[in-house]
């Protein structure tokens, strides 16, 4: 059996008496598209924070490939290929997309330590930045300040920044959150077109998107994993209907 | 609004244009020579403006670019000033080596300090830098055997610059000296902010959380820029010592840290020229107001500051940039700010 791209074992996290993660066991095989669903407060974003090192688990281990990364800080995890995006845009408002993505690439290549040569001298990095932006349909607006972009474009830039770090595992926290229907098509296309080498785990409330993009689905409730399976198994399961599909989102 | 794609060539062109010199920059630096002919009686003031501008530039690198707040930047200015004074007092009055040693000493202090600075942000930084500045002031005050304490450091005597130019009473040599050092360190800073490192600094300012999430080496970047900034502040302090041949506790004063912050905000932080313009406006206004009314000269300064913050939230340069970037501004003054066809390659 091949080693999963990312796995967790016995992951626990409490905020005081509130259990936000309990015995989380996940194994994501390489290249799969996983959706993480569950009602609000189920601990989905907390799980992403634990996996990316933004939060420290109380117990348990996180393994990326064959390396235990539990003790590593967020930066080191990114350098090893575990990258996330944010549910609420976390961008560089006064940089334009070209600068922002070039910045991410320069950091990845350690060019960012150079302070004597102009950025424009690093043509390969700029070329790569532009091709990432083009892949996400941001080419035409690459020299406009981020804060001036349409919301949907900012969501795309979230993904562009993550892609610029050359992730092995990409965690998307509600990539389509707040995007109007008219703008969401581009976003779906972008996610569908992500390289098959990248393992993707995404949190999403839009069931249409979940069933369209995910090859497998994990359902979380109250900090625990309720169930994992194919979209068909999940939609047929009565427990899921009860806690989720039949609940707030009916 | 229809947008035409800049394309990959446009992307390169955009970044390339950032590095290019603009007509207005050349006009500015030529104008710094004007005091020699127009106001030769004010060269002492001009040299103090150049020193202040250099100090403001050092603060701009950390505050304007990396978003690292400091209320104690006078620590490095003062450390450089005292180092330069002591070197001279102990018998080595050669200005250029004294300048280098002082910059190095301040840089070392900045480097040590940067390990603390790089761990904090915002409010915590204000407290830490404020406390550090006060500590250094008190240390200098109590070590009166070394620093002369409240009486100031006596016996600073500078040799002629390059063995030829004596520091005269009219500030002629002083202004040349301060202006050339300012220009050289400005060139270094300009180069720095247009580099990938400079881009990362802006990233830290814009969103430190995201920087972690793209795997950036933010802490090492902060340590580096803080050290560079301390060197420049130390050099500025050293020039002040060398051109005035005295050092007083005022170089470490909280007032100096506060003033330089005000100067930078007045001119416009994060624009490289902001500190320079701020220093010119502030120093001339102070000189003029204190001449008009020696007792209440801080009153009009206060009015000036409130006015600038109210009407030009991004400083004088921010306001000017807004005018020039408007459609009409582009028509009339666009040639001043558009990139020149050639590129500097030092």
> With contact defined as beta carbons under 8 Å apart, do B49 and B279 qualify?
yes
Chosen from A81, A91, A97, A112 to mutate, greatest number of chain B CBs within 10 A: A112
Range of lowest pLDDT (A172-186, B36-50, B260-274): A172-186
Query: B79 or B323: whose pLDDT is higher?
Result: B79
Q: Quick one: pLDDT at residue A246?
A: 54
Residues 6+ positions from B66 with CB-CB distance below 8 Å: B201, B202, B204, B205, B221, B222, B225
The pLDDT tens digits of the residues spanning A51-88 come to 999 999 999 999 999 899 999 999 999 999 999 999 89
So what's the pLDDT on residue B325?
A: 84
- Return residues 176-205 of B near A (CB < 8 Å): 191-192, 194-200, 202-203
Lowest mean pLDDT among A89-93, A193-197, B160-164: B160-164
Cross-chain Cβ contact B19/A120 below 8 Å = yes
Is residue B132 included in any domain, yes or no?
Answer: yes
What share of chain A has pLDDT > 70, as a percent? 97
Q: How confident is the model at residue A245 (pLDDT cuts 50, 70, 90)?
A: low
Please give the Cα distance from B2 to A200 (Å, whole number).
Answer: 34
Residues 6+ apart with CB under 8 A from A229: A216, A217, A237
- pLDDT score recorded for residue B68: 94
A73, A116, A143 member nearest B195 (Cβ)? A116
Range from A64-78, B218-232, B260-274, B300-314 carrying the lowest mean pLDDT: B300-314
CA distance B9 to chain A (A): 9
Report yes or no: B142 and B149 within 8 Å, Cβ to Cβ.
yes
Query: What ipTM score was computed for the predicted complex, to two decimals?
Result: 0.89
Provide the sign of the torsion angle of the four alpha carbons A120, A125, A129, A131, taken in this order: positive
Comparing alpha-carbon positions, the chain A residue that sits nearest to B6 is A140
Q: What is the pLDDT of residue A177?
A: 84
Q: Report the range out of A79-93, A235-249, B289-303 with the highest average pLDDT.
A: A79-93
What would the mean pLDDT of A239-248 be, rounded to a whole number? 67
CA distances for B4 relative to A138, B9, B198, angstroms: 12, 13, 29
Average confidence (pLDDT) over A204-227: 88
Q: Does B256 touch chain A (CB under 8 A)?
A: no
Contacts A104 to B, Cβ<8 Å: 214, 216
- CA B215 from centroid of its chain's CA atoms: 30
Question: Is residue B270 assigned to a domain?
Answer: no
Q: Which token pair is B265? A: 């905000």
Q: Do A120 and B12 count as a contact with CB atoms less than 8 A apart?
A: yes
Q: Pick from B136, B159, B150, B168: which is nearest to B237 by CA?
A: B136
| For chain B, percent of residues with pLDDT exceeding 70 | 97
In a domain, residue B177? The reply is yes
Asked if the Cβ–Cβ distance from B203 to A129 is below 8 Å, we say no
Residue A250 has pLDDT above 50, yes or no: no
Does residue B67 sit at the A interface (CB-CB below 8 Å)?
no
Task: Count up the domains in chain B and report the number.
Answer: 1
Q: Provide, rounded to the nearest whole percent, the portion of chain B with pLDDT above 90.
A: 64
* Option in B5, B199, B213 nearest A78 (CB): B213
Place of tokens 């000017």: B320
Query: Which of B12, B199, B231 is the best substitution to test chain A (most A C-beta atoms within 10 A)?
Result: B199
pLDDT band at A1 (very low <50, low <70, confident <90, very high): low
Q: Can you tell me the distance from the alpha carbon of B235 to that of A160, in angstroms, rounded to the nearest whole number?
A: 42
A chain contacts of residue B200, beta-carbon cutoff 8 Å: 103, 106-107, 112
DSSP string, A49-118: HHHHTSS--SEEEEEETTEE-TTS-HHHHHHTTEEE--SS----TTS-HHHHHHHHHHHHTTGGG--SS-
Q: What is the mean pLDDT of chain B?
A: 91
> What is the Cα–Cα distance from B245 to B250, expressed in whole angstroms?
14
Q: Which of residues 134-173 of A touch B (CB under 8 A)?
A: 139-143, 161-162, 164-165
Residue in chain B lying closest to A105 (CA): B214
Which residue in A52, A117, A126 is closest to B195 by CB distance? Answer: A117
Which value, in Å, is the radius of gyration of the alpha carbons in chain A? 18
How far, in Å, CA of A18 to CA of B121, rounded?
29
Can you give the pLDDT at residue A249? Answer: 46
| Contact across the interface for B215 and A107, Cβ inside 8 Å | yes
Q: To the nearest whole number, what is the mean pLDDT of chain A?
A: 90
Residue with tokens 């992403």: A48
Residue B233 pLDDT greater than 80, yes or no: yes
Residue found under tokens 């500051």: B305
- For chain A, domain boundaries: 81-168, 211-217+224-250
> What range does the domain containing B148 cover?
18-252
Q: Does A88 touch chain B (CB under 8 A)?
A: no
pLDDT digits (tens, 9 = 90+) for B321-337: 888 888 888 888 778 88
CB proximity B64 to A under 8 Å? no
- In degrees and rounded to multiples of 5, residue B268 shows phi and psi of 120, 110
Q: With bands split at pLDDT 50, 70 and 90, how would you rate the model's confidence at B343?
A: low
Is B25 domain-assigned? yes
Residue B271 covered by a domain: no
User: If you measure CA to CA, which chain A residue comes closest to B187?
Assistant: A116
Q: How many CB pairs under 8 A join A and B?
A: 152
Ramachandran angles phi, psi of B156, nearest 5° = -80, 125
Alpha-carbon distances of A126 from A14, A137, A142, B10, rounded to whole Å: 43, 16, 11, 11
- Per-residue pLDDT band at B152 (split at 50, 70, 90): confident
pLDDT value of residue B342: 66
With a cut of 90, say whether residue B165 has pLDDT above it: no
Q: CATH number of the domain at A81-168, please?
A: 3.40.50.300
The kind and range of the H/E element at B329 are helix B327-337
A45, A51, A52, A92, best to mutate vs chain B, most B CBs in 10 Å: A92
pLDDT band for position B2 (50/70/90)?
Answer: very low
Q: What is the pLDDT of residues B238-294, one digit of tens each?
A: 999 999 989 999 999 999 999 999 999 999 999 999 999 999 999 999 999 888 888
């Amino acid at each position: 059996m091949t080693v999963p791209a990312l796995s967790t074992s016995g992951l626990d996290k409490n905020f005081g008496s509130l259990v936000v993660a309990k015995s989380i066991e996940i194994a994501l095989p390489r290249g799969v598209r996983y959706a993480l669903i569950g009602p609000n407060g189920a601990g989905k974003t907390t799980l992403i924070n634990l996996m990316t090192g933004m939060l420290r688990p109380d117990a348990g281990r996180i393994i990326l490939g064959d390396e235990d990364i539990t003790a590593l800080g967020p930066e080191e995890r990114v350098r090893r290929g575990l990258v996330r995006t944010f549910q609420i845009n976390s961008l560089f408002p006064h940089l334009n997309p070209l600068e922002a993505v070039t910045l991410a690439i320069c950091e990845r290549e350690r060019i960012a330590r150079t302070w004597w040569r102009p950025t424009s001298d690093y043509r390969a990095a700029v070329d790569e930045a532009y091709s990432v932006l083009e892949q996400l349909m941001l080419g035409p607006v690459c020299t406009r300040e981020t804060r001036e972009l349409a919301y949907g474009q900012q969501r795309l830039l979230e993904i562009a920044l993550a892609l610029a770090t050359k992730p092995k595992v990409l965690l998307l926290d509600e990539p389509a959150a707040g995007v109007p229907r008219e703008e969401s098509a581009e976003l779906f296309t972008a996610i569908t077109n992500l390289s098959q080498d990248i393992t993707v785990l995404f949190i999403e409330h839009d069931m249409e998107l979940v069933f369209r993009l995910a090859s497998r689905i994990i359902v979380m409730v109250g900090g625990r994993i309720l169930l994992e399976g194919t979209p068909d198994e999940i939609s047929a399961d009565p427990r899921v209907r009860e806690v989720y599909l039949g609940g707030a989102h009916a | 609004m229809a947008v035409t794609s800049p394309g990959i060539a446009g992307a390169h062109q955009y970044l390339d244009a950032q590095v290019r010199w603009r007509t207005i920059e050349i006009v500015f630096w030529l104008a710094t020579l004007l005091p020699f002919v127009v106001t030769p009686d004010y060269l002492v003031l001009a040299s103090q403006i150049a020193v202040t501008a250099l100090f403001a530039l050092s603060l701009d690198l950390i505050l304007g670019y990396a978003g690292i707040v400091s209320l104690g930047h006078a620590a490095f200015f003062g450390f450089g000033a005292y180092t330069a004074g002591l070197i001279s007092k102990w018998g080595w009055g050669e200005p250029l080596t004294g300048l280098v040693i002082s910059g190095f000493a301040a840089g070392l202090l900045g480097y040590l300090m940067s390990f603390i600075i790089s761990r904090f942000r915002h409010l915590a930084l204000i407290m830490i830098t404020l406390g550090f500045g006060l500590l250094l002031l008190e240390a200098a005050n109590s070590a009166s055997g070394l620093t002369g304490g409240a009486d100031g450091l006596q016996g600073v005597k500078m040799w002629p610059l390059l063995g030829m130019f004596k520091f005269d009473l009219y500030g002629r040599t002083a202004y040349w000296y301060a202006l050339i050092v300012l220009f050289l360190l400005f060139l270094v800073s300009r180069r720095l902010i247009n580099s990938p490192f400079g881009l990362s600094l802006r990233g830290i300012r814009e969103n430190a959380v995201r920087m972690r999430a793209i795997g950036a080496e933010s802490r090492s970047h902060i340590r580096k820029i803080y050290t560079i900034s301390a060197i420049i502040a130390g050099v500025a302090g050293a020039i002040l010592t060398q051109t005035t041949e005295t050092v007083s506790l005022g170089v470490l004063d909280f007032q100096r840290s506060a003033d330089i912050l005000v100067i930078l905000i007045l001119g416009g932080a994060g624009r490289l020229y902001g500190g320079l313009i701020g220093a010119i406006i502030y120093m001339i206004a102070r000189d003029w107001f204190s001449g008009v009314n020696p007792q209440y000269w801080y009153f009009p300064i206060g009015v000036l500051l409130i006015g600038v913050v109210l009407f030009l939230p991004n400083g004088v340069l921010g306001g000017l940039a807004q005018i020039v970037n408007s459609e009409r501004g582009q028509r009339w003054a666009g040639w001043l700010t558009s990139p020149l066809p050639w590129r500097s390659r030092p």
